[in-house]
Amino acid sequence: MKFLKSTCILFLLLVISFTGNAQTADEILDGYYEAIGGRDAWSKVEGFKYTAKVNQQGMEIPVEMVQMKGGKTYTKISFQGLNIMQGVFDGETLWNTNFQTMKAEKATTEQIENHKLENNDFPDALLNYKENKYDLELVGKETFDGTEAFKLKLTKEPMMVDGQKVEDVVYYYFETESFAMIGSETDITEGPMKGSISQTKLSDYQEVDGLMIPFSMNDGIKDGPSQPIVIEKVEVNPTLDETLLAFPSEAVPTAKPANGEPGKGGDKQ
């Protein structure tokens, strides 16, 4: 009984001192990796395959995302049984399927070079931030999604946007109680939304092979519209079909024209 009591006090003391202390960025990361399965387990991961869905106006759109150590990645979106590849990267070439022609088109050289900078960011940009010589800084505490969170700022290698060097900064939010990452923010540096903040909210952490993975992502503009992505299945260390990554010379889907009916469906002038 006495033992129990003193253990209890010790525990309370620990809690008090733990919550009372100011956290450093590294302590927060330690807490985060501890909460999601440990640094060791995450270091050993070679890749992820996410089977997900996006709901648009009542239409359920299946999405498959693969991310591999080293940077190889693709996202496959299916509409009406047709596959559209987006953000496909084989380590050298980044390409997307054009929605109109259904043919593959390369991203700009600048985008490809920027993408290559992320090759060392697997499984995320935080795990090896020191080896990658990124800067990590604790900004402070903020309320994110109604919840008190630690805000960390990660500065990666600068990117090139329209010929100009631009800092690549990600802000991460970790819930103060569980240390779970509940969101991140980056500045949008190109396109019509340039100057706005892109925000991702994470939740629904579930265990897969000893790793805690968020099964719900909500991507959007801060204080603006967003798109939820529901993950249905996560495969750790999937086999990657490398043929999917190669930049195709022609459209992915093919269908043979009907015999005996030539001339059907010619191009419009």
Helix (H, G, I), strand (E, B) or coil at 138: strand
- DSSP letter, residue 250: S
Nearer to another protein, 141 or 242 (CB): 141
CA-nearest of 189, 220, 207 to 35 is 207
Positions in the binding site for another protein (CB under 8 A): 6, 9, 12-13, 16, 55-60, 79-82, 99-103, 139, 143, 145-147, 153, 164, 167, 169, 171, 175, 178, 180, 182, 187, 192, 194-197, 201, 203-206, 212, 215-216, 218, 223, 228, 230, 251, 253, 255-261, 264-268
Structure tokens at 213: 């993975």
H or E stretch at 87? strand 82-89
Q: How far is the CB of 255 from another protein (least distance, A)?
A: 5
Q: How far is the CB of 51 from another protein (least distance, A)?
A: 13
Nearer to another protein, 73 or 97 (CB): 97
Nearer to another protein, 131 or 191 (CB): 191
Q: How far is the CB of 65 from another protein (least distance, A)?
A: 17
- Contact partners, residue 100, CB within 8 Å, separation at least 6: none
Nearer to another protein, 243 or 259 (CB): 259
Q: How far is the CB of 85 from another protein (least distance, A)?
A: 15
Q: DSSP strand E in 13-58: where?
A: 47-56
Q: How far is the CB of 108 from another protein (least distance, A)?
A: 18
Q: How far is the CB of 80 from another protein (least distance, A)?
A: 5
Nearer to another protein, 21 or 131 (CB): 21
Q: How far apart are CA 167 and CA 207, in angstroms?
A: 34
Helix (H, G, I), strand (E, B) or coil at 62: strand
Q: Do the beta carbons of residue 175 and residue 23 sit within 8 Å? A: no
- DSSP letter, residue 98: -
